[in-house]
Structure 1
């Protein structure tokens, strides 16, 4: 079966840095060197290379694989570093779209002024990539919601993609700001305005936040002073894991649409929490064993989540567990079923079989087995609540608003974003409290009323 293509767009400084880490991991998994030439030995590595790469024939009869990716930033610094770095020969030169001034951590600059000037060039570069794809399944966007470019230009780009490709899937890997690991004071504004746009523009959002990344690197990996490369490495592990069943032959979730169908019961509730196992300190890895039940338990443990919230205070609507390596399907399904049975109070009972299990025989580089989970849990409202509190505290006093209104933005947009996020939190709360029995009784009453009405009509006839 030919792979269905995905176009990757990395936006802003954080998006491009995470993207670089992601492509490095992808090259290793598919046996490619840093110029895109195949040096691997496993035929599974090339079976679905065309999902993320375009094959280009070279003069010396060896094929070269070029990423189907576009690098976007409102200042050229990070993109220039990419061009002159180890991956400089990998990307096509016409896939870099950069401005000159930057967004100055201002969402309105990215969405209305600086970003609006760049968006046409960005859409042209995207069209060039889509025209070369045979069966495009969708787009994958990597961006941060705290700065100006990833949030503002990222939101503008998503709305343009939704307009132009309404029938294609739009997935984002969004790095959410966290008050404990904050770089700019207006992060809550940028994040809330972005969430407001993500609700309507995109099909699936994998949420990642810096606080959880720091907790994993310092607590579980024992890195005393983690740098961006350590944090980006964690994100790329999850991104590779999530895309595994798209890139290698597997038993389930062969494309993005199936992924979304299994995970998203209501269109607005498309914010997912990723987790990864095992996380080991490199020095103790040789002494660590990983049984399938241990891997499964770790996936649903708060410590392994890449979002700083506690799943015990919410309920799982749906989840998917992807196991990588030589793992028996019966063993994996039994471990997941057993975990769900023992923690049944944490799963909504009105969605039967709400954990799907996917198996891929190719393990991550340097590991024998690993597992990745994406969970749609009502506990993610905690993340939105945190952003909402920071936002409301400033917006009440109209702090920093002039930076946004000077770019032509209306204050009403802030109010809309606030109420939209409040509605989202209320929706999560509503489905967390919903039970199967009440709905069943209501349904029975409706059916009885419909039956009585039908009998009365028959008597009249």
Structure 2
């Protein structure tokens, strides 16, 4: 069973990461009633006894420890995570923090904190690697709009390539919107992207504005049938809380929930059995035809289940159709305007292989593929449904429309740089990058 170490960097990375661990535990608890440590647990967790000794497969879960690393140059978010119900998943060896912050400056995270904390970070990564039997990938979660997530995240990607060259580096990054309130976010985004393209093996961008639009759209629909919004959405859906208490979270929490559910569905085949299993290595191998064309777009369906199924229901074929609609993507792009270099579909729940093949044949004529790669479809079938839903479909594809998002970042970067806005500590690095 391949194992994965999750590296959460910066405030946003740790907030999404905390939702990821919360939801993944809830999912495993639902489908593993006997609390037996098995291969599905081993992908992201270690089982230890009270003395810290590792316990093998087939034993009862004694003390779970996450295969992860919490990194932030401000203690606030990490402190909240450690005080929450998932805090006991992490030991002091898995936490690297400071109390000064990066000031939303990529250069501070990359050129100051990177070298300063290099040995601590490297020791923490090595400890995690040594406790894996078959380490396949490092899964990086960060935002590229702030200082720590972009700067220190870029430094860590370089460090991972230097010290663990044979281990996959999969980066899930949150991209700032055009009206982001961080003035330096265009600098941070471009500088971070340049490092990720050079050193990560696959990039999964998620845009803040796309998440906000999805939450607004779902919220307006949920309250449009003469009932309160919180009653229209079934507890346990992707956009709601993980425990199914019925409380509808704020838009900010709902955005984190959507991003966390994307990662959970992406890694479902690594954790549970199915007729076609897909792991992060398969995604990178099949959906990245050229080394530098490594940015993937993603979408999920359904994002929530209505409490009254008669009000809002989606049949199986409609779920596949929704995954290819513009409004369902977690990046503000139009997939129909671009060319698909590769497309991956991961299904969960009561969806048969025949259903998957039938929908691929139905949707294929509506999509544009290059003549040399018309059959590049990667499929995965996981028998275990997500918690709170009978089934779902995740679509991950390599589409040339991602250039729309990248061009928008470059335009915002150029506007600031031409006016020499906020060129202080970033200045020499930005000028060097432009040259």
| TM bracket (short chain) | 0.7 to 0.9
Q: Which residue of structure 2 aligns with residue 208 of structure 1?
A: 206
RMSD (CA atoms)? 2.1
SS of 2:156 mapped into structure 1:
helix
The answer to whether the aligner puts 1:50 opposite 2:42 as a matched pair is yes
Asked whether the 8 Å contact 1:221–1:279 carries over to 2, the reply is: no
Q: Which residue of structure 2 aligns with residue 292 of structure 1?
A: 316
Cα shift readout 1:160-194 (whole Å, capped 9, x = no counterpart): 000001111000110011113x1201111000000
Residue 410 of structure 1 and its aligned partner are, at CA, apart by 3.5
SS of 1:363 mapped into structure 2:
coil
Q: Which residue of structure 2 aligns with residue 90 of structure 1?
A: 89
Residue 75 of structure 1 and its aligned partner are, at CA, apart by 1.1
Q: What is the TM-score when the length of structure 2 is the normalising length?
A: 0.88
Q: Which residue of structure 1 aligns with residue 238 of structure 2?
A: none
Residue 4 of structure 1 and its aligned partner are, at CA, apart by 1.3
- Residue 183 of structure 1: which of 175, 181, 201 is its match? 181
Asked whether the 8 Å contact 2:65–2:88 carries over to 1, the reply is: no
SS of 2:7 mapped into structure 1:
strand
**Aligned equivalents of 1:210, 1:171: Cα separation in 2:** 19
Cα shift readout 1:199-226 (whole Å, capped 9, x = no counterpart): 1110011110001001100012437994
The answer to whether the aligner puts 1:71 opposite 2:70 as a matched pair is yes
Cα shift readout 1:59-101 (whole Å, capped 9, x = no counterpart): 8975222110000001111111111122122212221100121
Q: Which residue of structure 2 aligns with residue 40 of structure 1?
A: 33
Residue 397 of structure 1 and its aligned partner are, at CA, apart by 2.2
Residues 226 and 281 of structure 1, relative CA distance in 2, 3 Å threshold: farther
Residue 411 of structure 1 and its aligned partner are, at CA, apart by 4.2
**Aligned equivalents of 2:60, 2:142: Cα separation in 1:** 37
Q: What is the TM-score when the length of structure 1 is the normalising length?
A: 0.83
Residues 154 and 285 of structure 1, relative CA distance in 2, 3 Å threshold: farther
Residues 281 and 84 of structure 1, relative CA distance in 2, 3 Å threshold: same
The answer to whether the aligner puts 1:23 opposite 2:21 as a matched pair is yes
The answer to whether the aligner puts 1:361 opposite 2:353 as a matched pair is no
The answer to whether the aligner puts 1:217 opposite 2:209 as a matched pair is no
Asked whether the 8 Å contact 2:10–2:71 carries over to 1, the reply is: yes
The answer to whether the aligner puts 1:325 opposite 2:349 as a matched pair is yes
**Aligned equivalents of 1:28, 1:411: Cα separation in 2:** 44
The structure where helix makes up a greater share of residues is: 1
Residue 412 of structure 1 and its aligned partner are, at CA, apart by 3.3
Residues 351 and 120 of structure 1, relative CA distance in 2, 3 Å threshold: same
Q: Which residue of structure 2 aligns with residue 150 of structure 1?
A: 149
Cα shift readout 1:406-442 (whole Å, capped 9, x = no counterpart): xxx43433305xxxxxxxxxxxxxxxxxxxxxxxxxx
Q: Which residue of structure 2 aligns with residue 352 of structure 1?
A: 374
**Aligned equivalents of 2:7, 2:401: Cα separation in 1:** 29
Residue 403 of structure 1 and its aligned partner are, at CA, apart by 3.3
**Aligned equivalents of 2:60, 2:261: Cα separation in 1:** 33
Residues 350 and 55 of structure 1, relative CA distance in 2, 3 Å threshold: same
Cα shift readout 1:119-163 (whole Å, capped 9, x = no counterpart): 221111111111111111110000000000000000000000000
Asked whether the 8 Å contact 2:170–2:201 carries over to 1, the reply is: yes
Q: Which residue of structure 2 aligns with residue 100 of structure 1?
A: 99
SS of 1:113 mapped into structure 2:
helix
- Residue 379 of structure 1: which of 387, 401, 408 is its match? 401
Asked whether the 8 Å contact 2:287–2:343 carries over to 1, the reply is: yes
Asked whether the 8 Å contact 2:341–2:369 carries over to 1, the reply is: yes
* Larger-Rg structure: 1
SS of 2:296 mapped into structure 1:
strand
**Long gaps (5+) in structure 2:** 52-58, 223-228, 230-248
How many correspondences in the alignment? 402
